[in-house]
Chain A
Amino acid sequence: MEQAPPDPERLLQPAPLEPLGNPDAGLESVVVEEADRPRDEGSGDGTMTENNFWLKKIEISVSEAEKRTGRNAMNMQETYTAYLIETRSVEHTDGQSVLTDSLWRRYSEFELLRNYLLVCYPHIVVPPLPEKRAEFVWHKLSADNMDPDFVERRRIGLENFLLRVASHPILCRDKIFYLFLTQEGNWKETVNETGFQLKADSRLKALNATFRVKNPDKRFTELKHYGDELQSVISHLLRVRARVADRLYGVYKVHGNYGRVFSEWSAIEKEMGDGLQSAGHHMDVYASSIDDILEDEEHYADQLKEYLFYAEALRAVCRKHELMQYDLEMAAQDLASKKQQCEELATGTVRTFSLKGMTTKLFGQETPEQREARIKVLEDQISEGEQQLKSKNLEGREFVKNAWADIERFKEQKNRDLKEALISYAVMQISMCKKGIQVWTNAKECFSKM
């Protein structure tokens, strides 16, 4: 982890797995205070403590989307969509839900929340947000962010995101997340005041680590590879699926022309007329049925997209590991070199190059006092270095343990969800086939009466 100001304080511990009783270390006091609020609020019924708050069932929904205009940071007018988030707590006894909180958020605030979670929980596969801009569109689908269908699908995607976070054993306890749901005003400032942005790893450093790390945990390397492949295959799948949808649309729609021509033809026929006319009607029904079919399929595409973006989250965890491991390796290397220097100074042998050694040669040997001083400095550094190495090692192992636990959880979730998605896709196809059989059977009957 990069620590910009050398900070003895251990920042941003991954949240421990045992039930939270204590506010997270390192968060600003403002947040800690507010974290106490649920305790106060809940004391009314006597049963609610902060622990119990999360054990009670809560329902979160993004129930509405609204177009708004406002002024942005550069004081320019902009149009954006705001989403209404409603939180309900469900009483155990009677199952009734009570609306506890209701506020409006825009997409950028969701992004901020997610970025915060990414930085503060680097060992967690953080649920992704729905896409910012419509991608993988087939021709009839709009690529416009303001398009009502896109907004609707995004609303569902955002709700899904919140539900994922709320059902994650660790993320659900986060204060900022809680405030996101409950504190409308000032939330942005609150998040920024945590200073999380400073703790974010620089892209460059991460990239560097990826290339230079010598001994990463094999599992993470494999996982990263898997993430890459998954991203690639799902992108491909979504692209082709969009083309398939396009073509299918064309096939169905052209059949509508039969409706018209059969009707025209029936006008000049005597006995054949009725049969043709009614068959034509069925062709029209067939042609118009494709709209609903493809709309349903978009839901399947969205499920795939979620896991496309999840792949990126997976890779982020792997990168974090590599970064930590590289950091560890660097620290170990640094320690080893310092130890060697120390030894050389102590024994008088010069095996390693040092500036001091050179200047000594050029300008004359240093005094015993000077040498002693240097050894002392090095010994201090070595001692500190050993401490740091130990804690880094510990951190690294903690990270690996926690991350792997979450990855296992994620794998189970992924397999479940994707199986469900495939099943619902198959069900959609079955429904489409049945409709097709129905329409053509009806048409056949009309033809038989010609």
Chain B
Amino acid sequence: MSGGPPKALPSTGPHSLRDMPHPLAGSSSEEAVGGDSTPSPDLLMARSFGDKDLILPNGGTPAGTSSPASSSSLLNRLQLDDDIDGETRDLFVTVDDPKKHVCTMETYITYRITTKSTRVEFDLPEYSVRRRYQDFDWLRNKLEESQPTHLIPPLPEKFVVKGVVDRFSEEFVETRRKALDKFLKRITDHPVLSFNEHFHVFLTAKDLNAYKKQGMALLTRVGESVKHVTGGYKLRSRPLEFAAVGEYLDTFALKLGTIDRIAQRIIKEEIEYLVELREYGPVYSTWSALEGELAEPLEGVSACIGNCSAALEELTDDMTEDFLPVLREYILYSDSMKSVLKKRDQVQAEYEAKLEAVAVRKEERPKVPADVEKCQDRMECFNADLKADMERWQNNKRQDFRQLLMGMADKNIHYYEKCLMAWESIIPLLQERQEAK
């Protein structure tokens, strides 16, 4: 905190990173120990790249960087290809290995975050840290604050709303882990967000709490300015593309909600069907015990129904764990998108209001006053960022849903295949002629 930034950098990003001397942060802060030692030029250069991104008016296209995998090329790749080639990626993040921690005050789960990167900002090729949900929540808030013109991916819900679900049950933890993994991967894939300072710290710092405390007071310039846009400005007209997106999102969220309800209902019906099947199969066994020649065939049918029951249980479990959460995530995603759109509206409204006020005054020369210009900047920056994000979101949405729905179809196909195999295998048993007694 006390050590000022090296003078060469015109950065405004959170500098506490450099001053964070955690003795146990062995992997990332060799240079930070002691606080006053000057970081090597390479590292400085790397840091500046990240910071420069933060203050660029057009967030998506940094100019003149030496980073091999620049945001623009990444963006291009995202927009053209549906599948990001593994080889062009230079940052890989995974969430796994949930563990329960029991402390005096509370019990909670942590997840291991593994980061592999060739980016120069990372001192080591690989990092492994543990984070809990709180930390993800913090990260998201930080991202929203520091990148207000960008769409931040949603987190899984903080509290479990529906039903009585055990926070520590395997299924719940696994579902959450997948969602957290998705969250980080989306940030990783974002050409701007993936270079965010907070994100970097989140991935690499051994003691996140210390950083959290220090980071409280600092905001980016842009962030601060956007934050100070107060409501109450009335929007004249929304640009066509944003209006369309707004309408789209409304209907989209509705449809997703309906699909969620249908999927839940199907699972419910399937579970009830399963309950009956579980009673049905054993009756054939009971019957088999009464018979002579028919005993084997009947027992075979009983076993067959048992296999189908197991397959059905797998289907319902899969759908509950894999399908429903992703659906819900997208509902949250479109909610996030809508709130970002609102913010954008506010920025535009403020600009328009200020512009109007100036027009009225007529005192100023053709030269537009600085603060109005700033507003215009802000608005244009926001529009560009948002537009880029929307396109990215649409592509991702298309991919995600294609994958989700194909996955649903796959699960059903596998279920039927298992049942088919079971029934086909007992046909020879049923047709078998009993040896003469």
* Measured CA separation A72–B290 after assembly (Å): 44
* Measured CA separation A437–B424 after assembly (Å): 14
Among listed B97-105, B268-276, B349-357, interface-contacting one:
B268-276
* Measured CA separation A226–B292 after assembly (Å): 11
- The residues in B between 338 and 390 inclusive whose CB is less than 8 angstroms from any CB of A are none
Q: Is B252 an interface residue (CB 8 A)?
A: yes
0/1 per residue, B112-133, Cβ < 8 Å to A? 0000000000000000000000
Interface size band for A = 35 or more
Tell me the minimal C-beta distance from A419 to chain B in angstroms.
6
B108: chain A residues within 8 A (beta carbon): none
Q: Is A233 an interface residue (CB 8 A)?
A: yes
A94: chain B residues within 8 A (beta carbon): none
Q: Which of A247, A423, A437, A443 contacts B269 (CB 8 A)?
A: A247
Which residue of chain B is the closest to A242 with respect to CB atoms?
B276
The binding surface of chain B is classed by DSSP as: helix
0/1 per residue, B13-51, Cβ < 8 Å to A? 000000000000000000000000000000000000000
Q: When the two chains form their complex, are residues B419 and A447 in contact, meaning their CB atoms are under 8 A apart?
A: no
0/1 per residue, B386-421, Cβ < 8 Å to A? 000000000000100110011001101101110110
Q: When the two chains form their complex, are residues B293 and A415 in contact, meaning their CB atoms are under 8 A apart?
A: yes
Which residue of chain B is the closest to A418 with respect to CB atoms?
B294
- The residues in B between 273 and 304 inclusive whose CB is less than 8 angstroms from any CB of A are 273, 275-277, 279-280, 283-284, 286-287, 290, 293-294, 297-298, 301, 304
Among listed A109-117, A196-204, A256-264, A388-396, interface-contacting one:
A256-264
Q: When the two chains form their complex, are residues A447 and B409 in contact, meaning their CB atoms are under 8 A apart?
A: yes
Q: Is B259 an interface residue (CB 8 A)?
A: yes
* Measured CA separation A423–B47 after assembly (Å): 72
Q: Is A208 an interface residue (CB 8 A)?
A: no
* Measured CA separation A156–B423 after assembly (Å): 27
Q: When the two chains form their complex, are residues B248 and A268 in contact, meaning their CB atoms are under 8 A apart?
A: yes
Q: When the two chains form their complex, are residues B427 and A426 in contact, meaning their CB atoms are under 8 A apart?
A: yes
* Measured CA separation A444–B407 after assembly (Å): 8
B251: chain A residues within 8 A (beta carbon): 268
0/1 per residue, B299-332, Cβ < 8 Å to A? 0010010000000000000000000000000000
Q: When the two chains form their complex, are residues B420 and A430 in contact, meaning their CB atoms are under 8 A apart?
A: yes
Q: When the two chains form their complex, are residues A433 and B416 in contact, meaning their CB atoms are under 8 A apart?
A: yes
- Give the interface centre of A246, A275, A447 by most chain B CB atoms within 10 Å: A447
Q: When the two chains form their complex, are residues B259 and A251 in contact, meaning their CB atoms are under 8 A apart?
A: no
Q: When the two chains form their complex, are residues B416 and A422 in contact, meaning their CB atoms are under 8 A apart?
A: no
Which residue of chain A is the closest to B402 with respect to CB atoms?
A450
B293: chain A residues within 8 A (beta carbon): 415
The binding surface of chain A is classed by DSSP as: helix
* Measured CA separation A60–B274 after assembly (Å): 43
Q: Is B109 an interface residue (CB 8 A)?
A: no
Given contacts A272-B401, A419-B297, contact A251 B266 (CB under 8 A): yes
* Measured CA separation A450–B419 after assembly (Å): 29
* Measured CA separation A279–B362 after assembly (Å): 60
Q: Which of B258, B269, B279, B410 contacts A240 (CB 8 A)?
A: B279
Tell me the minimal C-beta distance from A275 to chain B in angstroms.
8
A437: chain B residues within 8 A (beta carbon): 413, 416-417, 420
Which residue of chain B is the closest to A270 with respect to CB atoms?
B394
Q: Is B255 an interface residue (CB 8 A)?
A: yes
Which residue of chain A is the closest to B417 with respect to CB atoms?
A437
* Measured CA separation A425–B302 after assembly (Å): 13
- Known contacts A241-B280, A248-B273, A426-B430; 17 additional CB pairs below 8 A are A233-B286, A233-B290, A244-B280, A247-B272, A255-B266, A257-B258, A257-B265, A261-B255, A268-B251, A272-B402, A422-B298, A422-B301, A426-B427, A427-B427, A430-B420, A443-B409, A447-B406
Q: 6 tightest CB-CB pairs across the interface, nearest first?
A: A444-B409, A247-B273, A433-B420, A436-B416, A447-B405, A265-B255
A-B contact pairs, 30 of them (CB 8 A): A229-B290, A230-B287, A233-B286, A234-B287, A237-B280, A237-B284, A247-B275, A250-B273, A261-B255, A264-B255, A265-B252, A265-B255, A272-B402, A419-B297, A419-B430, A422-B297, A422-B298, A423-B430, A425-B301, A426-B426, A426-B427, A429-B423, A430-B423, A430-B424, A433-B417, A434-B416, A434-B420, A441-B409, A441-B413, A447-B405
